[in-house]
Amino acid sequence: MKSGSKKDEDGCVKCGTCNTVCPVYLATGNEIHTPRGKQHLVSRLQKGERSAHYADIFSKCLLCGACHEACPRDLDTPQLVVDVRSELPKISGISFLKYISRKALVHPVLLSGLTKAGTAANNLLGGFLPKESGLRLRLVGFEKGALKLPDSSYINKVKADVSAEKEAHTVNYFTGCLANHLQPDIAESTQFLISKATGSKANVALRQTCCGMAAMAAGRPDEALDLAKKNIESFEENELPIVTSCSSCYFQLKTYDELLDDDPEWQ
């Protein structure tokens, strides 16, 4: 949230500036998907009137912040969307798949296990499902050769490398879930580039976890806050700058100071 920004939905004057920068609206052309449309819905509907359709509308937002940057009245619609999403399970329930996915990111050790389970499910069901099956589409990422699963996460490999020499690090490396659990080649390549640029590999905080973006996008700022604190504890051993190979993680890490607005000690 920008400093001094507002969440007062009654402050929207429906000027439409946000429409010109909203990627969802530009893709669908549906007024109901605009930031001002979401502002209008929140200001006009009572909680008892909110439905599954209402939940679907608020699920269609990337939280990119473009509307907030463009808004002449500084209305923080992304934060409004997060607030509404925190109520969505009470309104329309939450799918088992979304619940498991979010929990896997909060507890990343589950992530590799779930991926292996997906591969097994694809091998078991792939030959029996019709081509047009929605379940087949969900399993497509687990087809043979589509995703090479690592034997171990990148951080676990770093932990196991007891023979590694202690280096005078100049930066820290935040891997993110993808490079750590699913594609450690990204982490290896990042370390190669860092060593070329600085003369040594980056320090890898062994207790780092998910950045928290998925939890925040799901309307669970409590989980995002917990993850932020775990990462702060993980990196507090030094004051070196942090490099990450994931743009989503970069965005989320930059919001930690705002996420901790009400907690000066952690901020």
Count other C-beta atoms under 10 Å from residue 17's C-beta.
Answer: 16
Q: List beta partners, residue 174.
A: 244
Q: How confident is the model at residue 254 (pLDDT cuts 50, 70, 90)?
A: very high
End position of a domain, from candidates 51, 66, 92: 92
pLDDT in tens, 22-63: 999 999 999 999 999 999 988 887 766 778 888 889 989 998
- pLDDT higher than 80, residue 260: yes
Gap between the Cα atoms of 177 and 209, Å rounded: 8
180 near 155, Cβ under 8 Å?
yes
- The domain containing residue 36 runs over which residues? 9-92
Same structural domain for residues 161 and 223?
yes
pLDDT in tens, 138-187: 545 545 555 556 667 899 889 887 655 567 899 999 999 889 887 899 99
176 near 247, Cβ under 8 Å?
no
Gap between the Cα atoms of 102 and 114, Å rounded: 12
Residue 23: inside a domain: yes
The one-character DSSP state at 152 is S
Same structural domain for residues 158 and 103?
no
Gap between the Cα atoms of 175 and 183, Å rounded: 10
pLDDT in tens, 97-142: 555 555 555 555 555 555 555 555 555 445 544 555 444 445 455 4
36 near 12, Cβ under 8 Å?
yes
Same structural domain for residues 230 and 159?
yes
**In what helix (H) or strand (E) does residue 173 lie, and over which residues does it extend?**
strand 172-174
Residue 173: inside a domain: yes
